Amino acid sequence: MKSSNEVVVTGWGCVSPLGGNTESTWSRLVAGEGVRAPITCIPVEGCRVTDGAEAVMPDLDWLPKKSISRLSRAARLALPAAQEAMADAGILDTNGRSIFPRLEMSLSTTANGMELGEEFLKGVWAGSFRHQTSRVSRYPAHQQVADLQQNLGFTGPAMVVSNACASGANAIGHAADLVRGGFADIVLAGGFEALCELVYCGFDCLQALAPDQCRPFDTNRRGLMLGEGAAFLVIESAVHAAARGAKVKGRIVGYGHATDTHHITQPEPTGAPLETCIRRALVQASLQPADIGHINAHGTGTPFNDSAEAAAFARVFTGNPAPRLVSTKAAIGHTLGAAGTLEAVFSLLALETRRIPPQIHTSDPIPEVAGWLARPGEVLEKPVVLSVNLGFGGSNAALLLAAA
Amino acid sequence: MRDPISILAVGVSCPGGTGPAALEAQWPSRRVSQITNPAITREVATIDLAAEPFNRWRMRPRLRRASPLSHHLIEAVAQILEARPDIDLSRVGLVGSFFIGCLVYSVRFYKGLTTDGRRFASPILFPETVVNTPLSHVVSELKIGGPVYSQTGDTSCWSTALRTAALWLANDDVEHVIVAGGEEFDPVFLDVMHSARWFGSRPEAGVSEGAGAVLLGKKSSQALAHITRIVDGFAFRNRAQAAKAAESLLAEFDPVIPVADTPANWTRRLAAKPLSGRMLSNCCGVPKFEAFTATCAWNTIRAVHSAEPRLVVPFLGLSQQMGAIEIFR
């Protein structure tokens, strides 16, 4: 990077299985609560595993009922999270519309409004034309973009990255790149993901779903738990934030991304591509591993992911004090395209409150990170947090976030 | 974008063959029935992956079960690397833009789990339904070592992908970026477009598949052409807004620069008014088949090879936003 534009975060918002906004989610997360229950929002009968983490769906009482009925489940998650972030950053007017008529977006999702696509396919195979137009028009990701723009009152460029489970970190990193590169002064970055039958059955058929609790970095880990949610951040240049008198809540100081060509669904066992990402982010931030106080890990709870990830962490932090490590997926599930954005918000909240969410459900940690896992009530001692994500297709991304 | 970027090489895989010349060839086509109403047929031009010159990837172990989209993309990207063996693959990024994505295997996977039962869903098919899987295959087979983004959206996400490339180059993240647009055909897509009422006023319109790719670098004297402006983010939600978006988009460019007309584009008629006042180039006039982001890539490549020294190439998205680039030769 040759630009020196400082990238700051001035607002955030989220919807998760723990709560319909940031405050309720964070208070339950740091209290060590988790969600796991039978899935009821999509059909999963016949699957090997039928539990997961459904989001707390906000009421959206600020929208007309007719508008709500037209939204995909993904849009119903994205809208309140984006609204909360924009309100937090002070960029909504008294009517709940953006004060910036053009506001660039950098978004992530993997399944769009998939439940509508599934209903469309069933309709096609049944020879039915009923409701097909609305289903097919509301399914794609760019319709969730349009939902955000229409209901929050702005227009402008929108990039939707779909790099599997690393997408959320990519969306935030891309937003930071846009600001650093002088391509944008302010960007609304976010990710959203709703549970759907196709993806749930996909992970079930891969036998990647945990039959009981998700236990990240545990020697007895047996898989992941799927979840859903959304998180948004308002990212801008420090100059732009200062000019409009916005309060800086955090900073994005480093971003690294790389592609692992080892296997389509498994990470390279040594975690070397992830290590590359982390080191690139450190170089961009001009920081050392010793500066990092906490890692929000990808930590899916699958045998392959956690061992590769732990190996990468062990190498990066060799000779340094071990940062406090947590995978919040044990609490809210793996939210795929939203995971990186939710975990970035959790990282920023840790920096703001100096509290680290405890690692739940892990009782026998693997040797590489034994002693690293965060316990209840731990305090963040250093002003930098690392958040990493890995995805199918070899997507790897690392974000370095710093206190305001 | 801060600085102009150069188009250094191009690659094409289309029903007419491989390479840019195939875009001007006669494309083989056939009538395909819609699933919901088999009496309705549409003209479709597809790629036969078993036939030469497309079949050179079929025996690669990782690509044996890969989606048609993966094959279209790797062919287009490989042509670029064959044309420029001098570039450092570890410093090449790849950005893909997709409107439909991995449709064939997604439909097949979902059909399987809804007919055979969820417990019998295919673990082989599921990874191939993931949007970024095709580019993962491409970088793995061709040893591309830089960052990779799979971007989705309506057809205008091609211009968004070009902007991502410009950003990576401006930030010195990479030395070169390949931007690829690709789509694959499945018969269910005819029902998609029928339900979206896109055939309503264009019963003669045809659907196609394939990929196009461009190699981008910082401004170079060896360039085929330069991209001097990328403009995107003109959003719309209805026909009236689309007409206004087209007007605003074209107003961004010097009115003396010709605009590449895109008659195969299904939003073209909504942009008729602002286009009527512009000098039009017909370099993107044939064929009549629409392959969405692949068509955007092909139109960019046609513009590169056109006789016009300067040209605006619009990417009129189907349902959400519009973008355009200015090409200088």
Residue A250 included in any domain:
no
Q: Collect all residues of chain A within an 8 Å Cβ-Cβ radius of residue B153.
A: 140-142, 145, 158-160
Q: How far apart are alpha carbons A290 and B31 in whole angstroms?
A: 64
Name the pLDDT band for B176 (thresholds 50, 70, 90). Answer: very high
- Triad A43, A162, A275: Cα angle to 5°: 115
A242's tokens: 């200062």
Answer yes or no: is pLDDT of B143 > 70: yes
Count of domains for chain A: 2
Q: Collect all residues of chain B within an 8 Å Cβ-Cβ radius of residue A265.
A: 127
pLDDT at A4: 55
Same domain, A167 and A262: no
Distant-in-sequence, close-in-space partners of B81: CB < 8 Å, separation ≥ 6: B87, B89, B142
Sign of CA dihedral A25, A30, A33, A39: positive
One-letter identity of residue B78 = A
Same domain, A324 and A373: yes
Same domain, A227 and A101: yes
Q: Do B171 and A129 count as a contact with CB atoms less than 8 A apart?
A: no
Same domain, A36 and A89: yes
The owner of tokens 């709500």 is A68
What is the architecture, at CATH level 2, of domain B5-218?
3-Layer(aba) Sandwich (3.40)
Q: Is B3 helix (H, G, I), strand (E, B) or coil?
A: coil
| pLDDT tens digit sequence for B6-46 | 999 999 999 999 999 999 999 999 999 999 999 999 999 99
Same domain, A190 and A78: yes
Closest to B164 in 3D by CA, of A51, A324, A257, A333: A257
pLDDT at B286: 60
DSSP letter for each residue of B229-294: EEEEEEE-SSHHHHHHHHHHHHHTS-TTS-EE--TT-TTGGGGHHHHHTS-EE-TT----EE-THH
Residue A251 included in any domain:
no
Q: Do A206 and B123 count as a contact with CB atoms less than 8 A apart?
A: yes
CB contacts < 8 Å between A and B, how many? 213
pLDDT at B277: 86
The DSSP secondary-structure symbol of B61 reads: G
Cβ B155 vs Cβ B99: under 8 Å: yes
A159 part of contact set with chain B, CB < 8 Å: yes
Provide, for chain A, the percentages of residues in helix, strand and coil under a 3-state DSSP scheme, each rounded to the nearest 5: 40, 20, 40
B148 part of contact set with chain A, CB < 8 Å: yes
- Nearest CB to B232; choose among A1, A157, A258: A157
B150 part of contact set with chain A, CB < 8 Å: yes
Residue B221 has a CB neighbour count (10 Å cut-off) of 5
Question: Active-site residue numbers of A?
Answer: 165, 298, 334
Same domain, A228 and A328: no
Residue A137 included in any domain:
yes
Q: How far apart are alpha carbons A404 and A74 in whole angstroms?
A: 31
Partnered with residue A187 across adjacent β-strands are A104, A235
Q: How far is B138 from chain A (nearest CA, A)?
A: 9
pLDDT at A5: 83
Q: Do A1 and B172 count as a contact with CB atoms less than 8 A apart?
A: yes
From A202, A217, A243, give the residue that closes a domain: A243
- Nearest CB to A136; choose among B109, B192, B320: B192
Peptide bond into B287 cis (omega under 30): yes
Cβ A309 vs Cβ A279: under 8 Å: no
Name the pLDDT band for B265 (thresholds 50, 70, 90). Answer: confident
Work out the widest C-alpha separation in chain A, in whole angstroms. Answer: 64
Q: Where in chain B is the domain with CATH 3.40.47.10?
A: 5-218
Residue A192 included in any domain:
yes
Same domain, A18 and A164: yes
Same domain, A228 and A303: no
pLDDT at B287: 65
Residues in chain A, pLDDT under 70: 1-4
As to burial, measured by CB atoms within 10 angstroms (0-12 exposed, 13-18 middle, 19+ buried), residue A70 is middle
Same domain, A229 and A295: no
Same domain, A23 and A107: yes
Closest to A133 in 3D by CA, of A115, A146, A119: A119
Q: How far apart are alpha carbons A257 and A389 in whole angstroms?
A: 10
Cβ A50 vs Cβ A378: under 8 Å: no
pTM, full prediction? 0.97
A108's tokens: 């992530």
Q: How far apart are alpha carbons A72 and A14 in whole angstroms?
A: 17
CATH at residue A193: 3.40.47.10
pLDDT at A353: 98
H helix intervals, A126-228: 132-138, 141-152, 167-180, 197-205
- The helix-helix angle for B133-142 and B68-83 (nearest 10°) equals 40
Provide, for chain B, the percentages of residues in helix, strand and coil under a 3-state DSSP scheme, each rounded to the nearest 5: 35, 25, 40
Same domain, A277 and A334: yes
Residue A249 included in any domain:
no
CA distances from B24 to B16, B162, B298 (A): 8, 24, 11
DSSP letter for each residue of A308-323: HHHHHHHHHTTTSPPP
Partnered with residue B98 across adjacent β-strands are B152
Cβ A402 vs Cβ A176: under 8 Å: no
Q: Average pLDDT, stretch B185-195? A: 94
| pLDDT tens digit sequence for B266-301 | 788 888 888 888 988 888 866 678 999 999 999 999
Q: Which domain holds residue A272?
A: 256-403
Q: Do A121 and B107 count as a contact with CB atoms less than 8 A apart?
A: yes
Q: How far apart are alpha carbons B328 and A66 in whole angstroms?
A: 48
Answer yes or no: is pLDDT of B157 > 60: yes
Buried b (16+ CB within 10 A) or exposed e, B30-65: eebebbbeeebebbbbbbebeeeebeebeeeebbee
Same domain, A89 and A216: yes
Q: How far is A251 from chain B (nearest CA, A)?
A: 19
Residue A37 included in any domain:
yes
Residue A1 included in any domain:
no
Decide the pairing of beta strands A229-237 and A186-193.
antiparallel
ipTM for the whole complex:
0.96
